[in-house]
């Protein structure tokens, strides 16, 4: 496996490879969720590039850019074990020569960013789309792998690929959870013991909504109330029901419903997100 930190060498190395190329963009601190994407990419492509880049332009003021976990040595070993061809881990100055305000950015439309995570994180998806577009252009990968864990991000990236005719296939990968159903996240490292207990109530609330829906309850208000009871003690930023194909809000759940939650866990003030499809046939 080649570990590359600059664009020139990345391009040279990519010229040498034969066959198809899969890309897995990450911010590092790799866990089994990331590894599921990497394994799928390795199984479907002749070559895989994993990028590890904590992208500053997708963080807002006061967010956790500085404390975000960075563990390149461990990430390198994990990628090596999975048969990754290139680990691309550039410095910020390699990716951006200017401040965000002076960069050409890809800004998804208001309609898709003025809700859910985009609402509390203004500019976040501009940063995400811009770095992902750069990685698509740099690698010219055939396929790129993204987790359903970041459902709004996945929706927006698919739209960007469609709208701008990127010649790449987006592969969506299911959420990987701990045995107790907590969704894996690099930010779980911030959680204290009591935080982790409380954080579990996010997935508990989602799975309970799914159960109630299967029992015949489709009223969003009733389902939200049931979830808020379970999530007492958490600072719930949003709990929303959307149509998974359009991300339009719903008042009654149906077979296309995706339920999304963002909540802060009090002690460590960690913001976590999770989601669930009410009907599994995707």
Our finding on whether 95 is near ligand AMP (CB under 6 A) is no
| Closest listed residue to residue 82, CA positions, set 24, 132, 18, 140 | 24
User: Is position 124 annotated as part of the catalytic site?
Assistant: no
Site size toward ligand AMP, by CB under 6 A:
17
Our finding on whether 190 is near ligand AMP (CB under 6 A) is no
Among 78, 160, 183, 253, binds ligand AMP (CB under 6 A): 183
String marking each residue 125-154 x if it binds ligand AMP according to CB under 6 A? ---------------------xx-xx----
Our finding on whether 10 is near ligand AMP (CB under 6 A) is no
What's the rounded Cα separation, in Å, for the pair 107 and 160? 9
Our finding on whether 79 is near ligand AMP (CB under 6 A) is no
Which of the ranges 25-33, 95-103, 133-141, 241-249 carries the binding residues for ligand AMP, by CB under 6 A? 25-33
What's the rounded Cα separation, in Å, for the pair 134 and 210? 37
Q: Which is nearer to ligand AMP, 4 or 29 (CB)?
A: 29
Our finding on whether 49 is near ligand AMP (CB under 6 A) is no
Which residues are bridge partners to 242 per DSSP? 249, 258
Our finding on whether 188 is near ligand AMP (CB under 6 A) is no
Which of the ranges 99-107, 163-171, 178-186, 210-218 carries the binding residues for ligand AMP, by CB under 6 A? 178-186
Q: Which is nearer to ligand AMP, 175 or 253 (CB)?
A: 175
Q: Which is nearer to ligand AMP, 27 or 239 (CB)?
A: 27
Residues classed as catalytic: 34
Question: Interface with ligand AMP by CB under 6 A: which residues?
Answer: 26-27, 33-34, 36-37, 146-147, 149-150, 173, 175-176, 183-186
């Amino acid at each position: 496996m080649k570990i590359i930190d600059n664009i020139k060498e990345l391009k040279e190395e990519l010229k040498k490879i034969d066959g198809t190329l899969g890309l897995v963009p990450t911010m590092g601190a790799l866990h089994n969720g990331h590894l599921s994407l990497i394994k799928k990419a390795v199984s479907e492509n002749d070559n895989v590039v994993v990028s590890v880049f904590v992208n500053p332009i997708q963080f807002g003021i006061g967010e956790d850019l500085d404390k975000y976990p960075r563990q390149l040595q461990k990430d390198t070993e994990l990628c090596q074990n999975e048969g990754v061809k290139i680990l691309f881990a550039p410095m910020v100055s390699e990716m951006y020569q200017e401040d965000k305000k002076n960069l050409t950015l890809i800004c998804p439309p208001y309609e898709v960013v003025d809700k859910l995570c985009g609402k509390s994180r203004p500019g976040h998806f501009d940063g995400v789309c811009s770095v992902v577009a750069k990685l698509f252009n740099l690698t010219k990968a055939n396929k790129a792998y993204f987790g359903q864990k970041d459902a709004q991000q996945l929706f927006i990236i698919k739209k960007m690929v469609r709208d701008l005719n990127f010649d790449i296939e987006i592969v969506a990968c299911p959420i990987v959870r701990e045995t107790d159903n907590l969704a894996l996240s690099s930010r779980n490292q911030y959680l204290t013991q009591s935080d982790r207990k409380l954080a579990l109530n996010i997935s508990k609330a989602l799975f309970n909504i799914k159960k109630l829906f299967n029992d015949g309850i489709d009223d969003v208000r009733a389902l939200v109330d049931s979830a808020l009871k379970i999530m007492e003690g958490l600072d719930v930023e949003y709990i929303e029901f959307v149509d998974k194909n359009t991300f339009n809000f719903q008042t009654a759940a149906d077979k296309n419903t995706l339920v999304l939650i963002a909540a802060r866990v009090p002690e460590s003030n960690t913001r976590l997100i999770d989601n669930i499809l009410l009907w599994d046939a995707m």
